[in-house]
Each structure stands twice: as structure tokens, then as C-alpha cells.
Amino acid sequence: MAKITREQMVHVAQLARLHLDDAAVELYTKQLGDILTYMDTLNRLDTKGVPPTSHAIFINNAFRDDEVKPSIPVAQALANAPESEDGSFVVPKVIG
Amino acid sequence: MDLYGLTIHAAHELLKRGEISAVALTAAVFERIEEVEEKVSAYLTLARDRAMAEAEAADALIGQGELGPLTGIPLAIKDILCTEGTRTTCGSKILEDFIPPYDSTVVKKLRSAHAVVVGKTNLDEFGMGSSTEHSAFASTHNPWDLTRIPGGSSGGSAAAVAADECIGAIGSDTGGSIRQPASHCGVVGLKPTYGRVSRFGLVAFASSLDQVGPITKDVTDCALLMNEIAGYDAMDSTSVPRPVPDFTKALESGLHGLVAGIPKEYYVEGLDGEVSQALDDAIKLIGELGATCREVSLPHTPYAVATYYLVAPAEASSNLARYDGVRYGLRDATSANLMEMYRNTRSRGFGPEVQRRIIIGTYALSAGYYEAYYGKASQVRTLVMEDFKQAFQTCDVLLAPVAPTPAFKLGEKLDDPLSMYLSDIFTLPPSLAGVPGLSVPCGFSREGLPIGLQILGKHFDEEKLIRVGYNFEQATDYHKRRPEL
């Protein structure tokens, strides 16, 4: 059985905010299926009770002093924006 | 003598003695780039005018007797580290015209040390790849054989060093992206311990794995660059507040008393015969230099590829959510509403490998699959870390291959992502464990392709890697060979 269906791929692409054409859906469905089949090798391991690791180096509470420092000026922060107006980022219509 | 062929320490000596100027050195590097860049394609952006101005400023300082180890040294920077005022693309169309408003901490430190920034080097898009073929702009060619990949993702930096298109370079490594291209290009590359070097201004791929490090012509240069770039940074909450040693103190002769582990799971079927032979010879030599070599086991090695290719894409899918066409980068201007704009921008802006990894990561984190994939991988990551902890109870360092084969042909694995992922098998486990790894040249195949030795150490014990690498280098001449271009 296929690891992942076409419908699931379309759903994942929607979650990831990607627009895939039909050819891309087909290709990624196959490739993700192959990759997930390979990932199943992990199921050979019994990991019951093994704590997960999200970070290799343990750092507890990285505190620093809350000092006020200069930040990037608005004009500079907007310099790379595709569109801006009156010190703000402009986006296409949000509500139809 | 060709100035571009110098190491950092050799150039420094000549600058100190007044025999060369930083301007002459930098000009020589740009002449070399003009000569060979067409063949190698290591750079995405050259910063000639600014570099020449930096070289002039360095000469003025040298004239006043102010000369640090990197003053006036032309360096190349992987185009995933932000450079204020100089385009930083990450090899992606989505950032094709992005001009960062600030320098990454590493670049800032190099500028404060009065190094000269030559330009920004090519990479797999956002660091995702093992061949530099996933750059949106160009494929870099291996200087030893132009029909082959330079490795990746820091392929541009490694090729630039090998082709003498810079004196030294900076790369970044998430699952082998410094060590593997260094190995394929016959140069030295160090992935420091996670947390040793600041990630501030390093464009994020997988935040629990990414680390910045040097790619150089020899181990001495590696130590010199580490001295400048390592250290705690308040701007990176995962950088570790601990003192930075003088890494050049580790450049001392002798390996007596040192125990080197040989992880048996790394010498298995699939390892190329010539790579295996070069590794055997390297281990023998390190034994002759005074180290005690003994076999150790890292039993979870066979699970590292699956673990990494869940953890890293999961983190990437989250990190790359920021490219939405709003604040910077590409925007699809044809879209009628916001959601359409997000989706069209991202699918136009990201290349196939990046989209593939975003899909893997999104799937692995999605409702109903999180436990089975991301959760499981995070647990196996613990087991991989335990392997290293166990091995380092009896060993100071581990000796391993970097890649299972010498550099493969351009295009060879491009249509088969899984086979490309599997070629990372020896560099992924140390990345998952956060331990440092040094790649040094240890031989050549019959076809003249470089082979690398990977030296692994305990967390924050880069000094021992440098010591082993230095001694190995002193006893061999692989690092002195240069490709004919």
C-alpha cells in the first residue's frame, strides 16, 4: 500500500503554504512515499521510555539582562519589503 | 610565488615582515578568481570594491604596527551568513535580492579582526543538499575534477579554498555541510560543537543542528579562524557561555597517551574500497604517531539517516515559514489574496529540494503523524547521543570516514533524493549528538579525487581534534597538493 495518498499530499502542501501543480503532486507523493518507507527502519527500535531530545547541548534558562538597546530603524526594516507604505508592510487583501 | 596560494599563517608572516601588502594579496586573489572562476563557479557574489578598501584599511593598520592573525587576510563567506550591505541569497530565488541590514556575529568578528571579505560562496539552497547542485543560481564544480560535485552544502566555500580563490573560508554544517565538501575538495573543515560559535545572522535551516565553522588549507589555519569566531554571544541564546581556549595551543607534536576509537559501524559494506584503504592507512599512521587505537561501537548508526531526515526537515519546515512574501524576499505580485500570495510566492521562490524537505517536515509534524515520525526520531536521537557518550568514556577521539565514496558526478544523484541522503551517513550521527568533527585530507583515489578523514571529539573538545589533525598533517603531504586548473 502506498505510504501516502495524493489527497494527503495536497493537504500537506496546503499546510505548508505551497502551491503544487499536478505533476509536482505526483512526484512528491512518490518521493515522500519512498522516503517514509525508509523512515520505517526506526520502528525496528523499541524506544519505550526513551526521553526525546530536541537539543544536543543542555542549556537551562538562557537569561540575559533586559537592557534597552537601539533596534533597526523603520526605514531600514522596510528596505527589503516587496511593498510598504507609511511605515508599514503592505499585503494583498486578507478578507475576501 | 603566487600569493593566492598562501595559507593564512604564511600570508600573515609575510604581511608582518612587510614583504607583501594586504592590497597585493587581495588583488592576487581576485586575479586568481578571474582566471579560474569560470570553471569552478564557487561564488555567487564578489565584493571586489569593498574588499580592496578593506585591504587598504588593513595595510594602514599594519603600517601602524597593529597586526592581528587575520589582518588583511582575504576570506570567503558562505552565502547563508548575513553580510550588512552585501546581498545574501542562501542560494535561493526567494532571497535573490535580499540585502541584510546587519552582519552575522561571525562576519562581524571577522571584520573586527580586519579580515577582508572577498565574496559570498555558492551553496545548496538554505544548506539543504550534499552536492551544491541545489543552488538556484549555479552548480559549483569540484576543482579536482570539473565533472564532479564539490560536496555540499558549503561546496562553494570548499571549492574556493581548494582552487585558491580565497585564503580561507567560512561554511556552515547541519548534517555534514562543512566536513563533506572539505573532504571532497581536499581541504580542512571543522564543524564545532553545537553552541560553540554564534548562529546569530546565520540563516536558519535546522536550529538544533546548524553550526558555523572554518574551511581552510591546513589545520593551523583552522585553529586561527576558530580563535576569532568561537565564543558566547548574547544574541544567540543557544550559544554556550564557556571560555574559549587558544586553539593554536593545540598545535603541538605528539599523540602519546591519546586513545582513538574506531567505530566499527562506520567500516561497513557500502564504504568504497579506496576510501576504506585510505582510512586504514590513516588509522595506522595515527597509531604510529603515539595514539592507542581501539575498536568501539556506535550501535545506532544505521538509524541516523532516518532520524536526521525527520528532525532536520521538521525544523526547516518551521524555520522557513518566515518566507511569506511580506517582509523581505520574493513576492508573487499576481495573487489576488493573501493566502494565494503565500502559496504562489513560496512555490515560485523555493527550489524542488527545499519544497521536498518542507513537505517531509510538515508531514512529520502534522496531526496524527507527529508521534510516529518526529516524536520517534527525537527519541532515537537520544539513543544516538548515548552511543557517543558511551564511546567517549573510553576514547579521546573517534576516527571515521567523512563520506562513503569520493566526490560523485554532477547530476548522478539529482533525481534520487534518498540516495543523496544516504551519502550523509557518516556525518549525520555526530551532528545529531552535537559533537565536533574535523575533516582532514587523508589520501587520493586512483582517479586523483581527495579522500577525507573525520576526527570526532567530545562536546567542546575541538582542541583534541586539532591536535590529532595537526599531527596527522605534519606526517603527510596530502594537504599540500593542489588541483591543476
Q: Which of B109, B94, B114, B91 has its CA nearest to residue B26?
A: B114
Joined grid coordinates for residue B447? 582517479
Minimum distance, in Å, between the CA of residue A24 and any CA atom of chain B: 9
Let me know if A79 is exposed, middle or buried by CB neighbors in 10 A (0-12, 13-18, 19+).
middle
What's the pLDDT score for residue B327?
Answer: 96
Minimum CA–CA partner of B327 in chain A = A81
Q: Which of B90, B95, B340, B379 to mutate to test the interface with A (most CBs of A within 10 A)?
A: B379
What's the rounded Cα separation, in Å, for the pair B282 and B259?
A: 15
E-strand spans in B123-252? 168-173, 188-191, 211-216
* Inter-chain residue contact B338 with A19, CB threshold 8 Å: no
Q: Say which amino acid occupies B373.
A: Y
SS3 B113: coil
Residues in chain A with CB shorter than 8 Å from the CB of B238 are 55, 57, 59, 62
What's the pLDDT score for residue A64?
Answer: 82
Contact B410, B184 (CB under 8 A): no
Q: Say which amino acid occupies B375.
A: G
Among partner residues B300, B350, B360, which is closest to A35 by beta-carbon distance? B360
Which residues, including other chains, have CB under 8 Å from residue B87's CB and lie 6 or more apart? B44, B45, B97, B98, B99, B120
CATH, residue B164:
3.90.1300.10
Of B92, B135, B153, B183, which residue is the catalytic one?
A: B153
What's the rounded Cα separation, in Å, for the pair B187 and B179?
A: 9
Residue ranges of chain B with pLDDT lower than 50?
none
Domain range holding B136?
3-257+395-480
Contact B205, B313 (CB under 8 A): no
Query: B2 in the Ramachandran plot: left (φ > 0), alpha (ψ -120 to 50) or beta?
Result: beta
SS3 B286: helix
Q: Which of B406, B386, B388 has its CA nearest to residue B398?
A: B388
Minimum CA–CA partner of B193 in chain A = A57
Q: How many structural domains are present in chain B?
A: 1
Residues in chain B with CB shorter than 8 Å from the CB of A35 are 309, 360, 417-418, 421
Residue B264: count other Cβ atoms within 10 Å of its Cβ.
13
What's the pLDDT score for residue A96?
Answer: 63
pLDDT at residue A94 greater than cutoff 90: no
- The domains of chain A, with CATH numbers, are 6-42 (1.10.20)
What's the rounded Cα separation, in Å, for the pair B21 and B289?
A: 38
Contact B225, B214 (CB under 8 A): yes
pLDDT tens digits, one per residue of B159-211: 999 999 999 999 999 999 999 999 999 999 999 999 999 999 999 999 999 99
* Inter-chain residue contact B328 with A12, CB threshold 8 Å: no
| Residue whose entry in the numeric block shows the C-alpha cell 590529532 | B468
SS3 B458: coil
What's the rounded Cα separation, in Å, for the pair B218 and B207?
A: 28
Q: Say which amino acid occupies B447.
A: E
Joined grid coordinates for residue B38? 569560470
Sheet with B450-457: list strands edge to edge: B43-46, B116-121, B74-78, B168-173, B211-216, B188-191, B437-444, B450-457, B397-401, B259-263, B292-296
Residue B35: count other Cβ atoms within 10 Å of its Cβ.
14
B317 in a structural domain: no
B432 in a structural domain: yes
pLDDT tens digits, one per residue of B45-88: 999 999 999 999 999 999 999 999 999 999 999 999 999 999 99
What's the pLDDT score for residue A2?
Answer: 61
What's the rounded Cα separation, in Å, for the pair B149 and B108?
A: 31
> What torsion do the CA atoms of B381, B428, B213, B230 make, to the nearest 10 degrees?
20
Residues in chain A with CB shorter than 8 Å from the CB of B98 are 80
B153 is catalytic: yes
What's the pLDDT score for residue B227?
Answer: 98
Let me know if B199 is exposed, middle or buried by CB neighbors in 10 A (0-12, 13-18, 19+).
buried
Minimum CA–CA partner of A87 in chain B = B327
Contact B193, B229 (CB under 8 A): no
Residues in chain A with CB shorter than 8 Å from the CB of B335 are 92
Q: Which of B83, B121, B86 has its CA nearest to residue B104?
A: B83
B54 in a structural domain: yes
ipTM of this complex? 0.95
Minimum distance, in Å, between the CA of residue B106 and any CA atom of chain A: 19
SS3 A57: coil
What's the rounded Cα separation, in Å, for the pair B325 and B96?
A: 12
* Inter-chain residue contact B99 with A80, CB threshold 8 Å: yes
Per residue in B303-320, is it b (16+ CB within 10 Å) or e — as a string? bbbbbbbbbbbbbbbbbb
Let me know if B34 is exposed, middle or buried by CB neighbors in 10 A (0-12, 13-18, 19+).
exposed
Strands B43-46 vs B450-457: parallel, antiparallel or unpaired: unpaired
What's the pLDDT score for residue A1?
Answer: 47
Q: What is the DSSP letter of B264?
A: G
Residue B412: count other Cβ atoms within 10 Å of its Cβ.
16
Among partner residues B338, B344, B362, which is closest to A19 by beta-carbon distance? B344
Phi, psi of B128 (to 5 degrees): -95, 90
Among A residues 65-84, those touching chain B with beta carbons less than 8 Å apart: 72, 76-77, 79-83
B78 is catalytic: yes
Q: Say which amino acid occupies B204.
A: A
